[in-house]
Amino acid sequence: MNDRNLHIDKLIGTQDDFFAKAEPDFERSADDVLNNLMGKLDNKTSKTISRKLSFKLYAVAAILVILLAVGAIMRFYTVGIHSAAGEHLVFNLPDGSGISLNAQSSITYNPYWWWAKRELKLDGEAFFEVTKGEKFTVVSKLARTMVLGTSFNIFARKGKYLVDCYTGKVRVVSNKNKEVILTPSYSAEVQNDGNVLLKKFKDEKHGSGWMNRMFSFTSVPLLEVLKEVERQFDVKIEGDISPDLVYTGNFSANRNIEETLQLLCKPFGLEFQKVDDRVYRLK
């Protein structure tokens, strides 16, 4: 075989190998080819769907975090209102219920949670005019008071808790779970042992005269009366006063401080001395 024929045979052999490699694989069925193609498409689609789902999950998680944060703010954010000595405050709660706050008294409540739970904390003395609606609760250290719509006065200071009901019904529950239901013209006083003493009063202004700066006392230790004078006039009263001295009477904070002290001291043979503009000493 000459060189020319040998070259032609090699060329033919190369072409045969090329067409053999280029020949379609008819041994695979149409279903196999289709499944292979769909598998590749499914793989790409699943990756796309996975990315979309991941984005949506992150978005949902972010929304949940924001909602939880807003909910926490609404639930735990509190507003405190405090009246200074010699100051009376009048204001409305979010539902329109009115409060008159006596001197040196304070309340705290959740304004953004008020629609779900009408509850506030009181330290001091306040008169309430509650609008009708869901249960309204006033919480203090010794007891809590619950109403649906009524007017009442609460005195809650340093171990003493007294509620006077004027309209509607009031339920008073001590921290020992002793309770009474008050109707108009009845008052409840929580005792040190947790029991609740029920009394009836005749004077329509009983317990609420302070809103007109009038203060009435029946067999009250003089020390407590002088504390009220300090609150109403923003003064300090010094001196050793016997805890056995008991006062029955009234005074008006519309008078000046010296007239008031003269009225209170005279029955006990006491005298007072002005130390400075805000301090008086009894002797």
88 and 131 co-located in one domain: yes
Total domains in the fold of the chain:
3
118 and 88 co-located in one domain: yes
- CB proximity list for 106: less than 8 A, separation 6 or greater: 80, 81, 82, 83, 122, 123, 124
Structural domain including 182 reads 79-200
User: Quick check: is 109 in a domain?
Assistant: yes
181 and 221 co-located in one domain: no
| Statement: residue 16 has pLDDT above 60 | no
User: Quick check: is 101 in a domain?
Assistant: yes
Tell me what pLDDT residue 22 has: 46
71 and 86 co-located in one domain: no
176 and 99 co-located in one domain: yes
CATH code for the domain of 270: 3.55.50.30
134 and 222 co-located in one domain: no
Lowest mean pLDDT: which of 23-37, 43-57, 205-219, 256-270? 23-37
195 and 83 co-located in one domain: yes
Q: Which of 125, 126, 155, 159 is nearest to 142 (CA)?
A: 159
User: Quick check: is 10 in a domain?
Assistant: no
| Statement: residue 75 has pLDDT above 80 | no
Alpha-carbon gap, residue 229 to 264, rounded angstroms: 10
Lowest mean pLDDT: which of 37-46, 85-94, 164-173? 37-46
Q: Which residue would you say has higher pLDDT here, 160 or 204?
A: 160
User: Quick check: is 24 in a domain?
Assistant: no
Residue 232 near residue 213, CB atoms below 8 Å: yes
User: Quick check: is 63 in a domain?
Assistant: yes
CATH code for the domain of 143: 2.60.120.1440
User: Quick check: is 221 in a domain?
Assistant: yes
Helix axes 222-233 and 257-265, enclosed angle (nearest 10): 180
137 and 169 co-located in one domain: yes
187 and 129 co-located in one domain: yes
Task: Give the predicted TM-score (pTM) of the model.
Answer: 0.73
User: Quick check: is 34 in a domain?
Assistant: no
Average pLDDT over the chain, rounded to whole? 83
Tell me what pLDDT residue 148 has: 82
Q: Which residue would you say has higher pLDDT here, 73 or 143?
A: 143
182 and 103 co-located in one domain: yes
For 189-239, how does the pLDDT look when each residue is reduced to its tens digit (9 = 90+)? Answer: 999 889 999 999 887 777 889 999 999 898 999 999 999 999 999 999 999
User: Quick check: is 102 in a domain?
Assistant: yes
Residue 56: helix, strand or coil by DSSP? Answer: helix
Tell me what pLDDT residue 26 has: 46
Tell me what pLDDT residue 6 has: 47
Residue 182 near residue 170, CB atoms below 8 Å: yes
